[in-house]
Structures are given as C-alpha cells and as structure tokens.
A and B are shown apart, each in its own frame.
Chain A
Amino acid sequence: MTTYDIDPANANAIEARDMSIYYGTFKAVNKVSLAVEKNKITALIGPSGCGKSTVLRSFNRMNDLVPTARTEGEILFRGKNLYASDVDPVEVRRRIGMVFQKANPFPKSIYENIAYGPRINGWKGSKAEMDELVERSIRGAALWDDVKDKLQQSGLSLSGGQQQRLCIARALATQPEVILMDEPCSALDPISTLKIEELMFELRQRYTLIIVTHNMQQAARASDYTAFFLMNQERAGELVEYASTQTIFQNPKDERTEQYISGRFG
C-alpha cells in the first residue's frame, strides 16, 4: 500500500478507506484510500476517465442518484461511515456541499437561489434572519458587491463567473463542513477563474475543499494537497500518488506522476 505524507496530528475532515465504485458490472474506481485534511484544499488530478469525478461525487453520495452505481469500502466523516445503512444521503449532502462543473443556478431570483437550501432543510427563523443568512452567504462567496442591488433578479442574469460564485454561495448557505468542487472553472475565462481561486483560499479558513481539476496549473497554484489518479489495465481508476502539492509537482515519487505532470501523456 502507498503511504501518504499527511500530518497525523491534524484531524481529517473526511477519509475514504478501500473504496471501490461500480457502475453495474463495470468497476470505475478500485480500492481508493484517501484522507483529506481539515481546512485545506485537496486537488484530484488525472487524465479523462481516471475516476476522479466519481471519487469526488462519492464523498457526498451523489453517486446514489445513478441507479446502477454501487460503492464498496467506507468513507469516514466525523468518525462515521457515510455509507452505513442508517445514514441518510439527504443529511450527508447538507453537510458536504457541492459545486458543479457548469454553473447551475436555479431559474429563481438570486435571493431565492440562496434561501432554497436552508428552507428545504427545515431552517427556522425570521425574515430578517433569512436576509442576514443570504447576505452572509453571498459575502462568503465574494459576490455581495456585484449583486447587492439586484437580489430579486434572476440568477440566470449574472455572468458565467458570477453564476458559479452564486452556486458557491448557495452551497455555503446550508453551512456545510466540506465543499466538493467538480472542475468549477472549466467553463470560465481566466479572470473569473482567478477570482474563484482567490475565493477558495478564503473559504479554506472555514471549510475543507476538495476540487477536481483538469488544469494542472490550477492544481499547482490553488491546492495544498494533490492526489493523482490513473486507470489500471481493467480501466478502473486508481490512486497513484497522494502528497502535498509541492511534493507532487516538484519531487513525485511515482514515475507515472512525473510523466503526467511534465505533460508527457493525458
């Protein structure tokens, strides 16, 4: 087994143990073990089809929405297996938020986009408190100055980068501990990408971030740890190397990591 240079003193936010994921009879991910440190940004990188998105989506049980998907092994969150029979995925997703590749604001007002998450999760409070929660969430996503005068306008009226930050604000409103981001900048221009990356560093102080990215520069400059995935002979994704981002990009232990980082394949 691979050993990982994670600081053992720091409690892990979430940890996968020998996790395998199947779609029907096809094994998409093979025995991945990955401990994600609290208040850090962990990037999952690798070529297309290496299972990194599948791994990410298993962290908040989004794979359950695919009828054929099946998960083996366990994912520990607050010391409890997320896939235990008494855990409801609805609660998992409230505590482990998700931001998608393509910004997907609801066709509602900016305000309603933010208020939706708390409301469906049984939030109780006054109108003023909801206003406060909405403002705090939007500020948290560094979007307040852009939208404070048009909270009642449709979320779809915003630009692509603003929409993606609205989706981040929406995730913050349910007060999660971990935020999963599935290639959040792949549809954005460089300026918007930079803003999201700056935002990620701010969010790191209060949340744990796991991000899937195709962009190696992004992984190099905007993450603390990097996990490199690759397909094995049976086309199942495997974790090849997991270390601090500095180690992965400057001194990788595995030859395949070194080849991928230097752009020789993928």
Chain B
Amino acid sequence: MSADATNPQELTVGHLPEGAEVQQNIGQRRRTGRIWQGIFLASIVFSLLALLTLILDVANDAFGLVATESSVDVAEVTGGRELSALSQAELVTIIEANTSGRVQARLNREQPLAERSQEDLVGVIEIEVLKSSLVGVWPLWESLTQRPAIEAAVAEKNPRAQIVWRSWINPDFLTSPMSSVALNAGLRTAILGTLWVTILTALFAIPIGVFAAIYLEEYADQRTWYNKAIQTNINNLAGVPSIIYGMLGLAIFVRVFEPFTSGAIFGAGSGGDGTLNGRTVIAAAFTMALLILPIIIIASQEAIRAVPNSLRQGSYGLGATKWQTVQNIVLPQALPGILTGVILSISRAAGETAPLILVGASTFIVSDPSGPFSKFTVVPIQIYNWTSRPEQEFKDVAAAAIIVLLVLILIFNTSAVLLRNYFRSKRVSL
C-alpha cells in the first residue's frame, strides 16, 4: 500500500462535478427519476382503465330496459283489476284456475302456493298464466339515453308490450334453476356445482400440496439430481395450459377410472342426477386438484423457505427432532403464507373453465348436484354457454352471471386476506 492511495488530494482518476456542474448533474438525475415515476403511474392508470372498462361493459349488459309481452291479457284473468291490488288468496285462486295440474304440482313442490308471498305469486302469474315473453332488451347506456326512441319503436311493433327496468341480477337469478327462457334462467345449479367442485378440489389439493411442500423444503436433499428434477417439473407444471389438464382429466379420470368416478362401484350414479359415466363432480375435482397442485406446492414452499433458519437452529439446539421443529416452529410461522397461496389457488380453480369443458361439465341441467357422483355444471361454463348463444337476452344473463362469479372470487380473496391477517396477529402475540 502506498501512502498516496489514502490521500484524496492525490486522486486524479476522472473528476466529480464541482461548482455549476453540481446543480446541472442533480437536475439531470432528478428528471430521470421523474420520468420513471411517470411510467409507473401510467401503468397503474392503464390497469385501472382496463378494469373499469370490464366492469362498465358487464354492468351495461346486466341492467337495462326490457319489453315483455303477455300472450294472455291481464284483464281476462283478473276481471279488469290490477294484479298488485289482489290479495294473496285471490292470486292463488287465479293460478289454480289457469294452470294445469302438472304445473301446480311443480310449483307446490318448490314451495306450497298458500305459503308464498304476494309478490312471489304475482311473478308466478306473469310467467305461468300470462306467459310473458321478451320482445326486446336494451343495454344500460341505451336505456338511459334513448328511452323515447325505444318506447316509440316498441309501441309501433308490439303495441301490447310493456317496457320495464330489469336488473338481470336479482334474488330469483341466484335461486332459480336453469331455464331455456332467459327471463326465468337462474344460476342455482351452477353455483352449487361450483361449490361442490371447489370444495372437493380443496379437500384433495390442499393436504397433498402442503405435505409435498413440507417434504421438499424440510426433508428432501435438494442437491440430489432427482429432487432437482422434481422441483424443475413442479415449476414447469405450474405453467402448463389448463386445457392440457382437461385432456389428462378426460383420459384418466373420466375414461380409465370411470367405474370409480361415475360412482358405479359404490352403487351410485343411477339416481336422478347421476350419469352412469365419468363426467361427474369428482372427476372435475380431481382434474382441478391436479391443476392447482403445483401452485399450492410452490406457494407453500416459498412460505416455508421464508421462515428464518435461525429459528430452526434454535429449536434443534434445544434438542428438538426434525418433526418437532417443523410442527412447532416452522409450520406456525409459515401458515399465513401457505394460507394465502392456498386460497388464491382455490379461487383460480373456481374461475377455471377450459379443463371442465373437456372433462364434460353439462351445459344444461335443471337438477342440483347432490354429491360427488352427480353430473354438474359450474358458473364459468354457464357464462361461456350463455355468451355463445345468439340472443341478446342471454348475453345479459351471462353478464349477471359474471357479476356473481366476480363476487364469489372476491369473497374467496377477501377471506384469504382476513385469515392471513388473523394468523399473522396470532403468530406474533402467542
């Protein structure tokens, strides 16, 4: 070491800005920073605009004016009075007088007529007695801005038609089964199907995924070639298109394991909602479980890896075995992270469509799924199905279903955040 290396006065390699140069240099650096900040802000604005467009587009279809026309005149069945002015008992009499025994039996099975509310009965009369049918639907924007033109057009073509505001998403939409009539179409079978498939998927995928992650992080010797190969493959599987999983599910769970997935070996499958083939809730759940397994494993591995090694050392240093350390120190600490990964992957499964088309979700079923061996449909399949129909009113029904699906996924994600926060606060205070 020479003496001049320690003396700054002797350094003559290049030079740092001095005097007026300093201001200029700092201004330049700050401008560069502001440009990048602008780019980051623009990205956020762009994302928000895209999201807003999506929401507006869906809302535009989910609400709006509809024109309905009855094939039977109200005055004929009520004797000239308004439906809303009639009492509950009078409404029941009208229904019993104007519908067939089969229709009454079906209505009574859903809920006895005598126990129904006045508004409910009015709705029943509109559909079953007056046989209202749609003659036109308009999106929200048009309904708001061009109402006179719409009214004029309807008055000219269908003088008897009524124009009313309709929210396609309403309590009936959530509780009615499917229907080929847009006004009656409901999402109940699809919501139940989504719940069945998602819950069974979670039951299969969560334990297997979390246990596999524990093995890979805490037990496997990560230096061996086979464990490296397993790790690489899991990472790759997380990126495989979901339709490939659908093909796998079709080949394995629907075809090869048909006696099991159809429930035949358990004596199930011949009932009202059974299928006698492998296109059942359980085949779909197995397929979805395979699809989200890599995601759960990777998320759990990262959560486990984030536990400081010093905690493991502290536990071993007291004479803990490996499992005692994992159970008492690592897992409680990793739990919030594991939960976040798990629930996000579950909401992915709830919104996934492509593999279920291949596995054979039904596009039209009226009966609710009643167990793992039922045929089924799910909300995204119904959305896909409705949007592919030519009539505008089914696009509106689909928009309502999209809102339901978004709310379902929002509920999943919110519960993920709440659960994580709960365990995080518990972890610190325990």
Contact = CB atoms under 8 A, between A and B. Distances in A.
B315 interface: yes
A174 B318 contact: yes
Contacts of B333: 107
Contact of B319 (A102, A104, A121, A153): A121
A156 B429 CA distance: 9
Interface stretch (B57-65, B87-95, B160-168, B321-329): B321-329
Nearest to B327: A120
Given A100-B310, A100-B314, A104-B313, A93 B328 contact: no
B142 interface: no
A117 B313 contact: no
B430 A116 contact: no
Given A60-B317, A93-B316, A107-B333, A67 B221 contact: yes
B308 to A, nearest CB: 7
A120 B324 contact: yes
Given A62-B313, A106-B315, A154 B321 contact: no
B319 A106 contact: no
A171 B313 CA distance: 12
A100 B309 CA distance: 12
Interface centre among B221, B308, B319, B428 (most CB of A within 10 A): B319
A170 B310 contact: no
B427 interface: yes
Interface string A62-78: 10010100000000000
A167 B223 CA distance: 32
A124 to B, nearest CB: 16
B97 interface: no
Given A104-B311, A154-B428, A154-B430, A93 B317 contact: yes
A108 interface: yes
A69 to B, nearest CB: 13
A90 B321 contact: yes
A119 B428 CA distance: 21
Interface in A115-153: 116-117, 120-121, 153
B320 interface: yes
Interface in B305-361: 308, 310-311, 313-321, 324, 328-329, 332-333
Nearest to B222: A67
B324 to A, nearest CB: 5
B318 A65 contact: no
A112 interface: yes
Contacts of A100: 310, 313-314, 317
A118 to B, nearest CB: 9
Contact of B430 (A98, A102, A109, A117): A109
Contacts of B315: 106, 116, 120
A158 to B, nearest CB: 13
A165 interface: no
A104 B309 CA distance: 10
A170 B328 CA distance: 15
Contacts of B308: 104
A38 interface: no
A52 interface: no
Interface bracket on A: 20 to 34
A116 B318 contact: yes
Contact of B317 (A109, A112, A156, A171): A171
Contact of A120 (B320, B332, B427, B430): B320
A97 interface: yes
A94 interface: yes
A98 B317 contact: yes
Contacts of B223: 67
Interface centre among B311, B317, B320 (most CB of A within 10 A): B317
Contacts of B311: 104, 106-107
A183 to B, nearest CB: 13
Contact of B318 (A94, A102, A154): A94
Contacts of A116: 315, 318, 328
Contacts of A60: 317
Given A102-B310, A154-B428, A154-B430, A117 B318 contact: yes
A91 interface: yes
B320 A107 contact: no
Given A90-B321, A120-B319, A106 B329 contact: yes
Contacts of B313: 62, 65, 98, 100, 104
Interface string B221-234: 10100000000000
A112 B316 CA distance: 16
Given A104-B308, A116-B328, A154-B428, A65 B314 contact: no
Nearest to B324: A120
Interface centre among B332, B333, B430 (most CB of A within 10 A): B430
A101 B314 CA distance: 11
Contacts of B321: 90, 120
A116 B327 CA distance: 12
Given A100-B310, A104-B308, A112 B318 contact: no
20 contacts: A62-B316, A65-B316, A67-B221, A92-B319, A93-B319, A94-B318, A98-B317, A100-B310, A100-B313, A100-B314, A100-B317, A104-B310, A106-B314, A109-B429, A116-B315, A120-B319, A120-B320, A170-B314, A171-B318, A174-B318
4 interchain residue pairs of minimum CB distance? A94-B319, A98-B317, A117-B318, A104-B310
Interface of B: 221, 223, 308, 310-311, 313-321, 324, 328-329, 332-333, 427-430
Interface of A: 60, 62, 65, 67, 90-94, 97-98, 100, 102, 104-109, 112, 116-117, 120-121, 153-154, 156, 167, 170-171, 174
Given A154-B428, A167-B314, A170-B318, 8 more contacts: A97-B318, A98-B313, A98-B317, A106-B314, A107-B427, A120-B324, A121-B318, A170-B314
